[in-house]
Each structure stands twice: as C-alpha cells, then as structure tokens.
Structure 1
Amino acid sequence: MASQAASPEPAQRHSAESQRVSGGYALMDALHRHGVEHIFGYPGGAILPIYDELHKAESRGWMKHILVRHEQGGTHAADAYARATGKVGVCFGTSGPGATNLVTGIATAHMDSVPMVVITGQVPRAAIGTDAFQETDIFGITLPIVKHSWVVRDPRDIGRIVAEAFLIAASGRPGPVLIDVPKDVGTEQFDYVPVEPGSTVPAGFRLPPQANPERIRQALELIRQARRPLLYVGGGAISSNAHAQVHRLAERFRLPVTTTLMGKGAFDETHSLAVGMLGMHGTAYANFAVTECDLLIATGARFDDRVTGRLDGFAPRAQVIHIDIDAAEVGKTRVPDVAVVADVRQALDALLAGSEGEDSQGRTDAWLDRISSWKRHYPLMTPSPEGEIAPQEVVIALQELAPQAYITTDVGQHQMWAAQYLHNAPRHWISSAGLGTMGYGMPAAMGVQTAFPDAQVICVAGDASILMNIQELGTLAQYDLPVKVVVLNNGWQGMVRQWQESFYEERYSASEMTGGMPNFEALAEAFGVRGVLITERATLRQQLREALDHPGPAFIDVKVRRNENCYPMVPPGASNAQMVGLPTHPELAIDTTRQCNSCGTSTASAHLFCPSCGAKL
C-alpha cells in the first residue's frame, strides 16, 4: 500500500493540474462537485479510509455527515431526503453486514423510483473472493434492485464513476445506484483529475425520448371525445415536478383527478375536481369513478395491483391513455389505446400546448355531478366521538394543527388513514408505497428534517412499525432534529389483524404486540427525546398542539381503539367497485355483476368463486 500523503487544501481543487491524492479524497471531492450537502451513514473497518477523508471534508465545510444508528436508517433517510428535495440522496455503509443492512432501503428506493447513490466499503482488492472478514458480494446481491452498480478497481475511475452514478440515478425513471469501494482503493495515492458533473456519459446511456407528436394528437382526440374521463396520477408526476401541469390540464378539460399513494400532492386534494386516492383503501368515489369512466388518463402511474384490484375489473369501460417515462411499464398489465413514452411534465406540456384555448364545453358536467353525488353519499368515515380515541381522529387533528407539515409514515393501517385524511403539498408526502417497508417513517423524517431544518416534519407511525427502527431516536437526539413522531398505538400489527379478522376467521396469529411493548414515553425520554402519552379524547388536541410546538424532537404515543378497521377496503380478488365498509345506497350503485364462465350464474358480490358451481370467477 502506498504511503498516505496529505490531502490537498480546498484551494487546490480547482487547479487545472492533476493533484496526487487518495481515493478517499477523490470520492469526497467528486461528491462535493455534485452538490452533496448531507450524507447519512455508519462507519466500519472497510470504509474507514473514506470516513477519514469525510472528516477532513466536513472540516472544510463541504458537507455534513449524519450518523444513523443502523444502516437501514441511513438508506431511508437518504431516500426521503431525495423525495422531499428532488435531489439525489447519498448514504454510506461498510462491507459485510453494513452493506447487507442497506438492502431493504435500496429495495424501497428502487420500488418507488427514488434517486439515491449508495456507497459501500469493501475488503481490499486482493482479498475479494477469499471470504475475507466481513466480505459480501454487495454488487451481486443488489443487482436486481439498482439501476446500475460499480466495483471500483482503480482509484483513477472514481471521478468518472461518481459522475455517471449521479447522472443515472437522477435521469429517466429515477432510482438507486451502488458504488462499492475496496478499502485499499480508498487509501491508494494517484494523480487525480476531477470530472465535472454531466461531462461523462456511460456507454449505452440514453435520455428519455420527447413525447411523440402523433401520440399527443391521438391523446387529445380521446380527451375531447370523452364524457366520463378520469385523470389517474402517480408518482411520476411528483418525480418530474409536474403538479402545475396536472392542475392546468384538469381545469382546462374539467377532468376529475385521482392519485395513487405515490402521487399524493400532485393535485390539490381540496380542489373540487379531486376525488382522492384510489385503490385498496382509496375513497369510494375514486373507485366508483375508475369503474365507470370512459377514458382513463394514466399519468406517471404503473397500474399497481393495490391500485387496480382485480385487473379485469379495473376501468372496464374505459379507453386508456398511458403517459410514462419508462417504456417497460407501458402495456405491462394494461394495454393502452394511446401510449406516450416521455417525461410526464414534458408530455403534459405538449398536451397543454396542443389544446391552448380549448375547454371542456360542458362535456363532463353530468359526470362531475355523478361524482359529487358519490362524494355526498360515501364520504370517508367520521369516527364516533365515544369510547376510546379513534385513530382517524388523531390524523384529522394533525391536518387541522399542522396543515403545511411534511408527513412521513410507516406502513399499515395508520399509513392508509394518513393517506385518506391528510392533504399534502407536492413532495410533502413521504411514504414507502411499492415495498411497504415497516420502520421507514422515523428515519425518513430524519432525512426530510435534515434537508429542511426549519420545516415542520411529522412521522405518523404504528406501535409495531416504529419498533423496527426505534434506535433512530438516538439520531434525532444527537442532532436535535425537531421531528414529531406520532404513534397510533392499538397494540396490534393493525393491518395484519384486520386481514386476519376479515379473511382468516379471526385467527390472530403472531399479530398482537401488547406483550413486551415498551413504555414509549419513558423510552423516548431515555434517548433524550420529549415523550408524551395521550389517552383521553378531551386532551387530545391540546396535548398534540403542545407537543407540536416543542422546539426539539418529540415522541407522542396516542392510545387508540384496538379493533378499528380501515375502510373502505377492496378485498383481495375483487374489483375496485366491490368495496366493503360502505353504507348502502342502492340508487347510486354501479353494476359490478360478474357472470360465471362455467355455469352462467351472475353474482354481484366480491366472491372469488361462483356461489353456484364453485368455479373460480
């Protein structure tokens, strides 16, 4: 190993001449050139040369490192940092268990198309493949869940690799990338020539195409003809910052708008054209609308199974326009009548330019009236003000007390209640949708709060999910991040319990969490975080307000009804119109009758099998 020379001072970075530096310095310099201000991570043996240079980079004011308490927390924090800012998130982990602890967070970012650069330490080059201490093939392990990955074999490649990594992570359909750096690459001295952002393009790299003008013309023709259109907006609209374009297109043609869990914030949910989230726990009126629409304009959405329910019952009467940046998503589950493969914002700009001066000419008035009738008759459930606190009450109170807050969530019933009742600005809703990662919410809130130190950031969690990464209370305390964690505590894995009640004859196998549940108030205080316990409805809003006003981090444990279910709900195997948990209004019902192919019997229920002959429907 070459002897280590002193790293050059910041003034030398911009010299046209190459400088003799270590691989670790080159990495820090490259990250600094790409505008990285915060890194989330946890050190270890193989990545120590990089952390040594990171220490020097922090002393120069280049960036700040946030020490998490578990590598998974670092990935979730970097992921949420990216979602909230639109920038690329960065996290570090060492080799072996440090690297494998990153996998869940990488998969979370991959499923939700989040731009992230993950940098791992690795055993020295000569030891790779020898089963050395803390060696794992993180390159191979993560191949299915990254856009691209590198093992750095030569420190002279670091500048180029970092430039390519940021380009790939942020372009097209965003996603995570991984750079694995052997320990001796971090220490080796070499003549470093910096590589500026965007100055190198990897072989085979292509930017997404511009929207095809003919496809835009065809899409506009379908929109002009539609009488019952529905704009179905997903996370692609958030990624491309297309919320203004979504708003203009909806108002121009008087299009009702429904969003996915990932698309929350792309359209103002208080707008008269908004019908809320659709899918398994979507609003009744959104699910009815998608069932009766004659044109579905899918915008940055991928027809996820939690959205579509039974696929052959999803928008069964509709022609489909599908706008997506990823050609692989087009036709994957639903073949569109018109496909527009392009960045969502660019495609919507083209639709707006091609329809300048037009309006709906009243075509959708009757349709909007019908949707308004559904909204009146099938509102989201208003919890009874009796007995224990209802979980919905807590979420409604948060909407009233903190309407502008960034919201992160864990996964489960609390996530669905938050999605139903909270109205969010663009990039203010941060939740694991595709992978459904329990333990995501609190480290995600750390990432958002790091990006926006003066903003109000609230994590809505469940008592089961929060325990997955409870150690990150230490990170909140160390950096005095004023995150407010609100736990809807029902003593269960709530969504698991609901499914066991509904579909497994109330066999509650391994879902009750009361045994061994900590005193959350005392636990938070032990970490140096303000702990609050709320048990009475009479003091709910006052205690929430006081906790939200606390200048530092706070953990609010709210005891809620144990057996409350999240409705509406589309049962597995049913179509979106076959929701349970709704009031009965026969005069407003839509036709959900299905006919058995074997015996011809019709049934209007959500049965998976024919009640007459038993054949699968």
Structure 2
Amino acid sequence: MNNIVLPGRAGHAGEAGATVHPPEVADLIVAYIEQLGVEYVFGVPGGAIEPLYNALARSARRGGPRHVLARHEAGAAFMADGYARETGKIGVCCATSGPGATNLLTGVACSYDNGVPMLAITGQPALPSFGKRALQESACTGVNTLGMFRHCTRYDTLVSHVDQVESKLVNALMRASKAPRGPSHLSMPVDILRSPIESMVPSYNLRSLLHRPALVDDALVRSLCEEIRQAGRTVILIGGGHSCGESIEAIIKLAEMTESCFVTSPDGKGLINTRHRLYRGVFGFAGHQTADQVLQDEPDLILAIGTTLGEWTSGAWSAAVLNQRLVHIDSSEDHLLRSPMARLHVRGRIRSVCERLIEMLSEAKLSNVSQIGLKNPDYMLHERDKFVSDASPIKPQRLMRELSRLCPSRTRFFADAGNSTAWAIHYLQPHDRRVARQHDYAARNDGGKRRKGDAGWLRVLMDFAPMGWAIGAAIGCARGNPKCPVVCITGDGSYLMNGQEISVAAAEQLTVVFVVLNDSALGMVKHGQRLAGAEPTAFELPTVDFRMQADSLGIPGHIIHSPEDMEALDMAAIFSRKGPTLLDVRIDGEEVPPMSLRMKTLGSAQ
C-alpha cells in the first residue's frame, strides 16, 4: 500500500510536514472521534490497545484528538463521563484487554445508569490467538468481558473483520447519543486495530446521523395544555441530566406562566437558581421539608419532567408524587414505565414539548391559575444554626455555606457518593450566579443559541453511585472546559479509593479544587449503622494528612479546621492558578447527614 499523509481534519488535506504513515483501522476510529469534535480520549495503554494509542499520538502531532493518561481505568471512564456532561459530546475512554477492560466496567456501568453518552473501546489479543490462553484474553474463550459489558451498555460488540469497523462504530455512536442515552462498547482485537486501510476518511456524516428530531405529539401536548388550564394549582418536579439541562429555560418559563411552584430531584438542583421565587427545594434524597410539603398539600396537577422516578428522585416512591394527579413528561420509555398510575404520559424531546406547550398556553386564558409564588421561603430555616455555626472542627453544613459563598460564579461542583452528596444536595446554595440570564427564555431562544452539556452547576449521581466518581468526573469536566472553575467535594473514603487521579489534574494543569471531607470514617456507613441500631463495624479509616500526599505530587494543599481557616484562604489565587489544589477539611464527624430517606428505603431506621 502506498503511504499517505494523515489529514489534519477528517476529509481535508494534511498540513505540510505531518508525519507520513500508512493508515490503519485505529486511525479511522480517531478520524470518526474527531468528526464528533471530541478532543480527548481518556484511558490507560496496554499491548492489546497499542495501535489506538499510536493513532492518537499521530493525531496529537497534527492538532487532532489526543490521549489523557488516567491512573486507573475506572478513573478514565469517570473522566469521560465528566467530559460528556460538560461539553455535550460523547465521552471516549479506552483500556487494554482483560483486567484493563474489567477495571473500566464500573465507570461504564455508572454512565449507563445515569444516561451519559460514552464510547468505550477495549482491546483483545489477535483473533488467531483466541482460545489458546493468550495473555489477558477476554473474548468468549477467555474471561468474557464482552458478556460483562452487555449488561451495562446500549450497544456491545466484538469487531471481528475490518469490513465491520465503520458500520459497528457508527452504530455504537448512534446508540450512545440517542434516547435512551448511555455507553456503547467496542471490543477490538489488536490485529484488527492495526490492519491497513486504503483511506482514513470517514464514509458517514455523523452530524446528520446523530441529529435528534423534535419528537412532539401535538395532540398529547394539547391535552396537557387543557389539563393545565383546568388546574387551579400546579407543581412542577424538575429532573436532571441532559434532557432537562437543554430545556431548563423553557421549563422555568412554563412555571412562571402558570405561577407553579417547582421542586427538583437531587440531580436537578444544579440546573436552577435556588433563589427563584417559585423554588421550593429538593424533593427526594437529602431533600427539603418545603419540597415535601408543597407536594403533600395535594396540588391539582403535578408535572414530573425528565425524572427517572427511581428511589432517590421520587421520595422512595412517595404517594405524594405517584398518584393520578401526575403527568409524566419524558423522552425515555424506561422512565415512563415507572409511572403507570399517571393521568397522562407525554413522550418526546422535553425541550420541544415545553416550547410547544408555551406556545399553546400563550394563546389560552389561564383564568384558574392561583397567584401563589410571591416569595422564596427559607427552606433551610430549621437548620440555620448549623449553617452559620463557628464551631471547630467545622460543621459540614457551614462548609457548604462557605463553598457557596467563596467559589466563583461559574463554578461546577461535583459531589461524590456518600455523605458528600447528601451535604451538597441539601446545603449548597451559590449566592450570585447564573441568575440574570440562566432562566431568561427569550434571550436563550433568540438566535437559536442552545446549551450543549447538561449545564448543571451541581452534578451528582443517581441510582448507580460508585465512590470516587466525582474525582475523575471533575477532571474530565475541567479538561473539556478549562476556563471554568471546578470543585470536587469528596470523602476521605472515596479519596483513598481514587485519589491518585488528582495527579492527572496536575499533569494536565487543570484548575480543580479537591475538597476532602476528612473524618477518618466511611461516614454514610457509620451514621447508617447508628440510625439503624446495627453493629458499629467496618467504617473506621486511618487518620491521613491528605495535604502531605498532595505535596508529594507537587500540588498545593491546605488543612481546614474551622470557618476562620476557610476565610483565610486566598480563593482568587487558588482559582487563578493552573493546576489543582487540595483542601483537607477536618469536619465534625458527629454531624448526621440528611439521609433519612435512604434509611426508610432500607427499612432499618430506628
């Protein structure tokens, strides 16, 4: 085969002086990734995936997609997750065969249960060695990783012939991108990856293939419009994720048109301004009494928009939501299956449904609407003493207040599984923010400017919630949007699992502040045992000086004992420097997080 110059962009001539190399299947895969606008592939190399890394190295030299080296494959998947949430693009991660693939599995499963688009590529030994006990063989004749991925992906396949590469790759990208969104997995034998090809120019135009149609059932939306017109009092429950993120201006406009109080699911809190006059708090895990109350007061209509209605998002399947006053609006059939008692199901792209509903309501007369939402109540009033406490060690509630106050207005907060999630969901309340234009429906719709990512200022996990996710996801977010400040709130247990990934933020010079809640315990386990009257066991962690560990990596760190220590930090300097900072926060470990809903579900609260 004649050597050709790799193009600088898919379908375009290469730059003068670019490295000449015969194109391989791996180069074609990178060309498709580049066509998507994806700049980074997160992973850990190995022999079976080496051709893909060679292709990424060639790509990086010409300004195309490049690799980001994770410290563990699960961290690579978490980074791809965070990158996808921030950019709205597909997160791409890769690993070698065998243990590389199984290490990746937890992060892929996390994206599956949280609806995050991802492409996971894992290596395999060469096809002729299948069944011969090749090193790290993970095909059907070895440790069958393909079978493992089948249960937590939207698309899962082994590429066994060069002629399959493009069709299977495009199928994987389409399945990852369209509702229900999630990860796709390609298992690639090393000899397929390094197979020569005539051209690395993609045959398919992904922009048209991945386009999401409007999907509006006009008759259903008209029925919903009539329900709203007849209702005296409507409450809106806003979910999280991409579907609600791209629709939030329309959702808030709908609430304002109908004077409807709104609450959010735990993962939806980051999409809204917590000081909006109609906001009544979080409903579900770590939620607020005001949110419970507005639903318990039996409104005429409940609009659940873009929410899974799982344990954490439905108040543990509360009858206050799951009743015949419910209208469930979602693009996912899986979500709608959880509300068979609903008065009405409206399936379609949420943004399109809400925009059409606004048009119809603008033409209608809303004579029955009650003027109720004149003032945002203080939904943390009953816990104000902890929120403003000057005690040392610092109360977690006070820490959330200080982070809300001291971090820049554009900060993205990632809260890890466990107590970190509970404290953040309940207490984080940024002060300035995203208020003037975030919910300005007219401004957002003039010129057709749309959000690309999920746009949430607070990002948490629902359902499948692995410890350490936030550490990698925060790095992936910062890599996708390096101009935006990022804060990762994690526990000492999660940090001991995945804290090594902080060195990736250092290597990439990413501005991420890692806030480690240090109480020498697996906090949710400890408090769960106490609340349940269970044996106090297996929650103790060693006392660790995480600042010293950060220092060993060349990362500045600070130990925080009190609110005064937080005040003494030069946060402007921390957020202006390139590279991560670690805050080792010695919290009051006796403070019980808002986890009563979880205890109720487990049936073990005393």
Scaled by the length of structure 2, the TM-score of the pair is 0.87
Partner of 1:479: 508
Structure 1, unpaired ranges of 5+: 576-605, 610-617
CA contact (8 A) 1:462 1:488 kept: yes
**Structure 1 residue 321, shift from structure 2 partner:** 0.6
Partner of 1:219: 224
For 1:466 and 1:211, locate their aligned partners in 2 and report how far apart those are by CA, in whole Å: 44
CA contact (8 A) 2:36 2:207 kept: no
Partner of 1:594: none
**Structure 1 residue 123, shift from structure 2 partner:** 1.2
Partner of 1:93: 95
Residue 561, structure 1, aligned to residue 588, structure 2: yes
Whichever residue aligns with residue 314 of structure 1, its letter is A
Partner of 1:415: 421
What aligned pairs does 1:426-437 form with structure 2 within 5 A after superposition?
Answer: 426-437=455-466
Partner of 1:582: none
What aligned pairs does 1:224-243 form with structure 2 within 5 A after superposition?
Answer: 224-236=229-241, 238=243, 241-243=246-248
Match of 2:556 among 513, 525, 530: 530
For 1:560 and 1:11, locate their aligned partners in 2 and report how far apart those are by CA, in whole Å: 51
**Structure 1 residue 566, shift from structure 2 partner:** 1.5
For 2:528 and 2:380, locate their aligned partners in 1 and report how far apart those are by CA, in whole Å: 28
Structure 2, unpaired ranges of 5+: 14-20, 139-143, 435-454
CA contact (8 A) 1:285 1:378 kept: no
Partner of 1:601: none
**Structure 1 residue 260, shift from structure 2 partner:** 1.3
**Structure 1 residue 483, shift from structure 2 partner:** 0.9
For 2:598 and 2:166, locate their aligned partners in 1 and report how far apart those are by CA, in whole Å: 51
**Structure 1 residue 377, shift from structure 2 partner:** 5.9
More displaced stretch, 335-344 vs 123-132: 123-132
Partner of 2:447: none
Cα 1:395–1:13 change in 2 (3 A) is closer
Cα 1:75–1:186 change in 2 (3 A) is same
Partner of 2:343: 337
**Cα deviation per residue 1:306-327 (whole Å; 9 max; x = unaligned)?**
2334535333665111111112
Residue 177, structure 1, aligned to residue 184, structure 2: yes
**Cα deviation per residue 1:302-361 (whole Å; 9 max; x = unaligned)?**
111123345353336651111111123213254211101111111111211211155754
Whichever residue aligns with residue 92 of structure 2, its letter is V
Match of 2:597 among 562, 565, 570: 570
CA contact (8 A) 1:254 1:360 kept: no
Partner of 2:265: 260
Residue 190, structure 1, aligned to residue 197, structure 2: yes
**Structure 1 residue 292, shift from structure 2 partner:** 2.3
Q: What is the alpha-carbon root mean square deviation over aligned residues?
A: 2.9
Cα 1:291–1:135 change in 2 (3 A) is farther
Cα 1:24–1:315 change in 2 (3 A) is closer
CA contact (8 A) 1:46 1:94 kept: yes
CA contact (8 A) 1:303 1:334 kept: no
For 1:547 and 1:240, locate their aligned partners in 2 and report how far apart those are by CA, in whole Å: 29
Structure whose CA Rg is larger: 1
Partner of 1:503: 532
What aligned pairs does 1:5-20 form with structure 2 within 5 A after superposition?
Answer: 6=3, 8-10=5-7, 14=11
What aligned pairs does 1:119-518 form with structure 2 within 5 A after superposition?
Answer: 119-136=121-138, 137-192=144-199, 194-198=202-206, 210-236=215-241, 238=243, 241-294=246-299, 295-311=301-317, 313-315=319-321, 319-358=325-364, 361=367, 363-366=369-372, 368=373, 375=379, 378=382, 382-402=387-407, 403-423=409-429, 426-505=455-534, 507-513=535-541, 515=542, 517-518=543-544
SS at match of 1:91: strand
For 1:383 and 1:374, locate their aligned partners in 2 and report how far apart those are by CA, in whole Å: 14
CA contact (8 A) 1:172 1:208 kept: no
**Structure 1 residue 214, shift from structure 2 partner:** 2.1
How many aligned residue pairs are there? 566
More displaced stretch, 404-413 vs 124-133: 124-133
CA contact (8 A) 2:238 2:244 kept: no
More displaced stretch, 357-366 vs 128-137: 357-366
For 2:360 and 2:396, locate their aligned partners in 1 and report how far apart those are by CA, in whole Å: 46
**Structure 1 residue 571, shift from structure 2 partner:** 5.6
CA contact (8 A) 1:246 1:266 kept: no
CA contact (8 A) 1:489 1:560 kept: yes
CA contact (8 A) 2:323 2:341 kept: no
Whichever residue aligns with residue 510 of structure 1, its letter is A
Whichever residue aligns with residue 43 of structure 2, its letter is G
SS at match of 1:145: coil
Whichever residue aligns with residue 423 of structure 2, its letter is W
CA contact (8 A) 1:163 1:197 kept: no
CA contact (8 A) 1:230 1:293 kept: no
**Cα deviation per residue 1:447-485 (whole Å; 9 max; x = unaligned)?**
011111121111111111111111112212212212110
Cα 1:11–1:72 change in 2 (3 A) is closer
Partner of 2:18: none
SS at match of 1:308: coil
**Structure 1 residue 141, shift from structure 2 partner:** 0.7
Give the % identical residues: 27
For 2:495 and 2:157, locate their aligned partners in 1 and report how far apart those are by CA, in whole Å: 33
Cα 1:163–1:571 change in 2 (3 A) is closer
CA contact (8 A) 1:229 1:293 kept: no
For 2:111 and 2:604, locate their aligned partners in 1 and report how far apart those are by CA, in whole Å: 35
For 1:341 and 1:525, locate their aligned partners in 2 and report how far apart those are by CA, in whole Å: 52
For 2:478 and 2:381, locate their aligned partners in 1 and report how far apart those are by CA, in whole Å: 39
**Structure 1 residue 372, shift from structure 2 partner:** 6.1
**Structure 1 residue 394, shift from structure 2 partner:** 1.2
Cα 1:456–1:316 change in 2 (3 A) is closer
Scaled by the length of structure 1, the TM-score of the pair is 0.85
Cα 1:236–1:49 change in 2 (3 A) is closer
Cα 1:504–1:128 change in 2 (3 A) is farther
CA contact (8 A) 2:10 2:35 kept: no
**Structure 1 residue 298, shift from structure 2 partner:** 0.8
